[in-house]
Amino acid sequence: MHRTSVRDRNEIDTQTLEINFGPQHPSTHGVFRMHVVLDGETIVSLKPVFGYLHRNHEQIAENITYLASMPYTDRLDYLNAMTNNFGYALAVEKLASIEVPERAQYLRVIMAELTRLVNHMALIGFLLNDLGAFFTPVLYAFREREKILDLFEEISGSRMMCNYFRFGGVKRDVSDGQLAEIQKLVEAFPRFLDEFEALLAKNEILCMRCQNVGVLSPALAVNASLTGPVLRASGVSYDLRKVDRYSLYDRFDFRIPLGAKGDTYDRYYVRVLEMHESVKILRQALRGLPAGDTMNKKMLPFLKAPRNFKPPVGDAYGRIESPKGELGYYVVSDGSPQPWRYHVRAPSLINVTVLEDLCVGHKIADAIIILGSIDIVLGEVDR
Amino acid sequence: MPLLAEEVKSRIETAEPGIAMKVFRNSILLEKPEDLLRAAAFLKSAPDFRMDYLASVTAVDYLKYLESVYHLYSIEKKTGPVVLRVRVPRKDPRIPSLVGLYRGAELQERENYDLFGIVYEGHPDLRRLFLWETFEGHPLRKDYVQEDSEVLEAADIEWLDRHGISSPKEVRQHALELRKQGKRAVAEKDGKEGA
């Protein structure tokens, strides 16, 4: 223990206290440990400790075929299986120069945006949970999330571990009935968002706890490679859907919500606004969905015989705007059926870089909501 | 908007003479690891590049050498990537750390140190990221072999004896044989069946 004497001020000898916050603490959103030094209730230093969920995902992928890694990517950020698939498919398609039919591209965008809704709802629900609004907001959010997961189950076969994307397309087509259901859900969604917002956005406790807590400057956010809503809440306009225009995102009209201050409240509210933008994209995608193939014909044989799929020697870095930030896959091929190297650039892990900077000087209770607003999923952090 | 590696290379050459590099797969391969800091600092500050965002730091084991790969983008100009590569020998690999320039490298360099054993010189807190401090070896190196936790080795038998725990005769004999041959209990690599 570090002794810091304040005897000259008030005759009381105080000392700092070191505690292990986690790994089995409910508000760490998984098995995540923070080594915290406290002065009273104020945080003096905070060191994150990783690895409780480490399974060497990257080495597993290097020992199996390219396609066999697809279900493993579901388990990275287990709330957003669809976007994890998307990033991996994009990287391998870049590596092997595979074209994707238009209908499949549209379906990919629809799934990715539905996933963004799922993620942001879960995040806001759990953030409120951390603030002490025990499970009521989560259940409101999960009621809507469940409708989307039911759709995912109908379309891909699984609620959360979707495994829906394939190199050169998607696994199954979506029927007209399912499209009508998505349409219904998308039309009803803004009403839920407004209801959710009316209950929360101006709530006094939420404002008091979140405003001016954990302020992140734009300069630090860029320097520390933060991405996604955390970066945009600090007022930096950088969204890969606009910058890279991957897939078909150049066809849709949407805006990038930005925060003004970069505090926890901005990080919360940017996500609410992003959900409105996702609904806009979904409406346009559903309107424009063309008929046609959902798989590149040339890639069909590889579905049954994945060991025959051998991308040319080379490497590729594919990245997408996942709900948590830049999800990148770096794949190196040596011309064999297995990737020579497979690396995941996990937004959850890299966004934790600034956790200490945000928390020092705040109370221990604020560290919980700051961590909640950064939005990590340990499956992706530890890999 | 992708940048051409040739162009970037000639710009670095004129601004920072003396950096040996060549173009490899539309990326810049720095021939000496020491030059990495200079090249990255130039790309970050030069007004027509402004590579202010280090997206990804990763490493690859190519058996003859280890390679560290950096993907730089510009948030200000919305351009990129500029890919930098550095090659170091597998024995005692050392690369200057980029944490001073980009905080974003902090956890990623720790990850590479953990899984590949590359020492990033100048990193403020170079510890293993996922595995524990006493872990032996670096699992993402191609020559890494996983030990078989089911098979006992001679050291395990000694430990059991010290604690008065009996062990079957065959297990004992197998452990002694392993020691005689100078081998460790290595897990069999699963076949190439993965589908």
- Please report residues of A whose CB lies closer than 8 A to that of B129: 50-51
- Hey, are the CB atoms on B104 and A314 less than 8 Å from each other? no
Q: How far apart are CA A270 and CA A373, in angstroms?
A: 11
DSSP A84-117: HHHHHHHHHHHHHT----HHHHHHHHHHHHHHHH
Q: Domains of chain B by range and CATH?
A: 5-121 (3.30.460.80), 145-187 (no CATH)
Report the candidate in A160, A105, A96, A171 with the shortest Cα–Cα distance to residue A337. Answer: A96
Structure tokens at B45: 């500050």
With CA atoms as reference, the chain A residue closest to B125 would be A47
Asked if residue B81 has a cis previous peptide bond (ω within 30° of 0), the answer is yes
- Is residue A323 a contact partner of residue A115, using CB atoms and an 8 Å limit? yes
* Token pair 């078909």 in the structure block, residue: A248
3-state secondary structure of A360: coil
Q: What does each C-alpha distance from B133 to A157, A162, B137, B138 come to in angstroms?
A: 41, 36, 11, 12
Q: How far apart are CA A70 and CA A166, in angstroms?
A: 8
- Hey, are the CB atoms on B71 and A328 less than 8 Å from each other? yes
The more confident residue out of B189 and A335 is A335
Q: How far apart are CA A234 and CA A371, in angstroms?
A: 16
Per-residue pLDDT at B192 = 46
Per-residue pLDDT at B195 = 41
Chain A: nearest CA to B53, how far in angstroms? 6
- pLDDT at A115 exceeding the cut of 90: yes
Q: How far apart are CA A50 and CA A70, in angstroms?
A: 24
Per-residue pLDDT at A317 = 92
- pLDDT at A336 exceeding the cut of 80: yes
Mean pLDDT of chain B: 84
Per-residue pLDDT at B154 = 80
Q: At what angle do helices A102-131 and A136-156 cross, to 10 degrees?
A: 160
- Hey, are the CB atoms on B130 and A382 less than 8 Å from each other? yes
3-state secondary structure of A4: strand
Q: Which of B60, B103, B140 sits opposite A353 (nearest CB)?
A: B103
- Is residue A249 a contact partner of residue A241, using CB atoms and an 8 Å limit? yes
Q: pLDDT tens across B28-74, in order?
A: 888 888 888 888 998 888 888 888 899 999 999 998 899 999 999 99
> Strand pairing partners for A132?
none
Q: How far apart are CA B194 and CA A9, in angstroms?
A: 68
Q: Which of B54, B75, B104 sits opposite A238 (nearest CB)?
A: B75
Lowest mean pLDDT among A1-15, A101-115, A240-254: A1-15
- pLDDT at A174 exceeding the cut of 70: yes
Structure tokens at A27: 């508000």
Lowest mean pLDDT among A40-49, A111-120, B20-29, B149-158: B149-158
| Residue burial A77-89, b: 16+ Cβ < 10 Å; e: rest | bebbbbbbbbbbb
Q: How far apart are CA A315 and CA A331, in angstroms?
A: 6
- pLDDT at A300 exceeding the cut of 90: no
Per-residue pLDDT at A4 = 54
Chain B: nearest CA to A222, how far in angstroms? 6
- pLDDT at B16 exceeding the cut of 90: no
- pLDDT at B194 exceeding the cut of 50: no
Structure tokens at B167: 């062990």
- Hey, are the CB atoms on B103 and A51 less than 8 Å from each other? no
Share of chain A above pLDDT 70, in %: 97
- pLDDT at A374 exceeding the cut of 50: yes
Q: Identify the band that residue B189 occupies on the pLDDT scale cut at 50, 70 and 90.
A: low
Q: Which stretches of chain A sit within 8 Å of chain B by CB?
A: 50-51, 54, 56, 58-59, 63-65, 68, 220, 222-226, 236, 238, 243, 306-307, 314-315, 317, 319, 326, 328, 330, 332, 338, 340-341, 343, 345, 349-350, 352-354, 382-383
Lowest mean pLDDT among A53-67, A99-113, A198-212, A320-334: A198-212
DSSP-derived pairing of the beta strands B27-30 and B79-88: parallel
Q: Which of B108, B130, B195 sits opposite A350 (nearest CB)?
A: B108
| Residue burial A327-366, b: 16+ Cβ < 10 Å; e: rest | bbbbbbbeeebbbbbbbbbbbbbbbbbbbbbbbeebebeb
Q: How much is the average pLDDT of B166-181? A: 83
Chain B: nearest CA to A261, how far in angstroms? 19
Size of interface A-B (CB pairs under 8 A): 94
Per-residue pLDDT at A2 = 54
With CA atoms as reference, the chain A residue closest to B116 would be A59
DSSP state of A363: B
DSSP-derived pairing of the beta strands A17-21 and A33-39: antiparallel
Q: What does each C-alpha distance from A14 to A7, A17, A46, A245 come to in angstroms?
A: 8, 10, 19, 56
Q: Identify the band that residue A208 occupies on the pLDDT scale cut at 50, 70 and 90.
A: confident
- Please report residues of B whose CB lies closer than 8 A to that of A56: 115, 139-140
Predicted ipTM? 0.85
In whole angstroms, what separates CA A154 from the centre of its chain? 23
List of residues 6+ apart from B173 with CB closer than 8 A: none
With CA atoms as reference, the chain A residue closest to B103 would be A224
Q: Identify the band that residue A92 occupies on the pLDDT scale cut at 50, 70 and 90.
A: very high
* Element holding A364 (H helix, E strand): helix A364-374
Q: Identify the band that residue B151 occupies on the pLDDT scale cut at 50, 70 and 90.
A: confident
User: Sign of the CA dihedral B169, B171, B174, B180?
Assistant: negative
Q: Rg of chain A's alpha carbons, rounded to an integer?
A: 22
Chain B: nearest CA to A191, how far in angstroms? 35
- Hey, are the CB atoms on A63 and B190 less than 8 Å from each other? yes
The more confident residue out of A164 and A1 is A164
Per-residue pLDDT at A183 = 92
Q: How much is the average pLDDT of A165-171? A: 90
Q: pLDDT tens across B93-120, in order?
A: 999 999 989 998 999 999 999 999 999 9
Residue B192: how many other CB atoms lie within 10 Å: 12
Share of chain B above pLDDT 70, in %: 92
- Hey, are the CB atoms on B54 and A225 less than 8 Å from each other? yes
Structure tokens at B180: 């005689």
Per-residue pLDDT at A202 = 82
Q: Identify the band that residue A332 occupies on the pLDDT scale cut at 50, 70 and 90.
A: very high
User: Sign of the CA dihedral B75, B77, B78, B83?
Assistant: negative
DSSP state of B63: S
Q: How much is the average pLDDT of A287-316? A: 88
DSSP state of B111: H
Q: Which of B55, B58, B105 sits opposite A326 (nearest CB)?
A: B55
- Is residue A6 a contact partner of residue A16, using CB atoms and an 8 Å limit? no
Mean pLDDT of chain A: 88
